[in-house]
A and B are shown apart, each in its own frame.
Chain A
Amino acid sequence: SQQGEEDPQALSIQEGENATMNCSYKTSINNLQWYRQNSGRGLVHLILIRSNEREKHSGRLRVTLDTSKKSSSLLITASRAADTASYFCATDGQGAQKLVFGQGTRLTINP
């Protein structure tokens, strides 16, 4: 079963613009991770944010976490064509190591 929901399901923007994707989840968590997937194959780990953190940065990526609202956002600044991919959030918690994924956001960057 899917824990989270990404919003929007699909996003299309112009190169150079910022892209924001949101993730909501249902149960308490230890960590939330964001992944990128190209062409339906392997997932690339982007960033992990712990439940006691509120914001984290990595290069052009900014992730926020609001545990009171059970939501997270991923911001990609100055988007590039190579950022075109599907983006997933995944959570773990409640004593389990397994990750529970949302259904993803399909991001398209138009040149």
Chain B
Amino acid sequence: GAGVSQTPSNKVTEKGKYVELRCDPISGHTALYWYRQSLGQGPEFLIYFQGTGAADDSGLPNDRFFAVRPEGSVSTLKIQRTERGDSAVYLCASSSLAGYNEQFFGPGTRLTVL
């Protein structure tokens, strides 16, 4: 079946602009995660959805970052007033809670803030 998909694959924006990043999880996966990866580092957790609700948003760095999953499937990560330090690869993953928390990742969105 289809894996996790993310759009766009690349996004270049200017400092101060608003961006939306989209994630389409594996069909039937109720859990969805956002991570951020800076160059040379491992991914860092941002937020976790169980169904439509954010079960853990402890990784969001500040209130410029927000994510939604209104119908329990597709999720959108929203970043307001982007800063150069937001430049990174944003990764989305999904998992089935029937398993042992194997998380399957999408290809990522590379965000560049000029």
Contacts and interface: CB of A to CB of B under 8 A. Distances in A.
Interface of A: 1-2, 30-31, 33, 35, 40-45, 48, 50, 88, 90, 92, 96-104
Interface string B42-60: 1111001010000110110
Contact of B42 (A2, A42, A44): A2
Closest 3 CB pairs of A and B: A101-B42, A42-B107, A98-B45
B101 A31 contact: yes
Interface residues of B, number: 32
Interface of B: 4, 31, 33, 35, 37, 39-45, 48, 50, 55-56, 58-59, 89, 91, 93, 95, 100-108, 110
Contacts of A2: 41-42, 44
